[in-house]
Amino acid sequence: MLQVGICDDETLLLDEIKKITEDCLQQLRTFSILSTYTDGKALFYDIQDGKRFDLLLLDIEMPGLSGMELAERIHELLPDALMLFVTAHYKYAVDAYELHIFRYIPKNQLRERLSHALRDAVSLLETQNTDSYIISSQKHFERIPLKEILYIEKNGKNAVFHTAATGKTVESQPENNTLRTRYIRKTLTEIFEELHSEEFYFIERGYIVNLRHVTGISHTDCILADSTRLPISQNRLSEFKKRLNRYWRDKI
């Protein structure tokens, strides 16, 4: 499911962008939810509150908070989100490039160029989504990028995903409000097989850890970047050290 955000202070243009986007995604048979905003601050506040977007279409010239400023703030919280700028002014193209904006769409060529940009964006996002774990139940459906998963632990009949929130990976000690947990009624063995990734390791029968976030080993504890300590099974300690060393050598 693709989460798309569209922000433009001109309501007529906002409606046109939404219509083109809806039509294109329907043609691509891409299941999506579109959220529209006429105020950049409102969009940013929703993201701060935990709303996630895979794709954002932003006007550059908006009152209060410009698209350029908005893009910088969004990138800090959702570094993997793709952003497209829609603007009437070509002078912003260079700045958009420097901000690593996915595509620049002139308003006077909206119908000609937006659909092509959306097709390219969806293609890229579908590739990125293969590196994700899908949590699906009757009441919940969510895609979690594998790199955001810190560790998974057993809790009774549930598995608990501990993840970095709002698209952040843990490269330094995070504040408490950057962490989230999700519960899923599966065994760790089932989840480990579904993850199908060399970045995860079963350190103990009650814990699966993401090697991406491991900073070291102390005695029989695995240390994560946020200072979390997880127990390592004695009979897996030697192999885990070898595996972690190989991961650091190959990936870091």
90 and 44 together in one domain = yes
Domain range for 214? 137-251
- Give the pLDDT confidence score for residue 130 in this predicted structure: 66
In this structure, the dihedral spanned by the alpha carbons of residues 40, 126, 199 and 79, taken in order and rounded to 10 degrees, is -20
**Main-chain phi, psi angles of 102, to 5 degrees:** -65, -40
100 and 214 together in one domain = no
Residue pair 98/83 in contact by the 8 Å Cβ criterion? no
122 and 143 together in one domain = no
- Give the pLDDT confidence score for residue 131 in this predicted structure: 78
Mean pLDDT of 217-242: 95
CATH number at residue 65: 3.40.50.2300
117 and 226 together in one domain = no
- Give the pLDDT confidence score for residue 171 in this predicted structure: 38
How does pLDDT run across 150-206, given as a tens digit for each residue?
Answer: 999 999 999 999 998 544 433 333 344 457 899 999 999 999 998 888 899 999 999
97 and 9 together in one domain = yes
Instruction: Return the minimum-mean-pLDDT range out of 131-135, 165-169, 190-194, 236-240.
Output: 165-169
Token digits of residue 23: 């039509």
Mean pLDDT of 140-159: 88
Token digits of residue 167: 């698209």
Number of structural domains found in the chain: 2
116 and 152 together in one domain = no
| Whether the model pTM is above 0.85 | no
23 and 121 together in one domain = yes
97 and 154 together in one domain = no
How does pLDDT run across 83-104, given as a tens digit for each residue?
Answer: 999 887 655 555 544 455 788 8
How does pLDDT run across 17-67, given as a tens digit for each residue?
Answer: 999 999 999 999 998 999 999 999 999 999 998 888 999 999 988 888 888
What's the rounded Cα separation, in Å, for the pair 250 and 26?
Answer: 41
Q: Determine the residue type at 187.
A: T
Token digits of residue 50: 């935990």
- Give the pLDDT confidence score for residue 173 in this predicted structure: 38
Residue 116: name the closest of 103, 128, 125, 126 by CA.
103
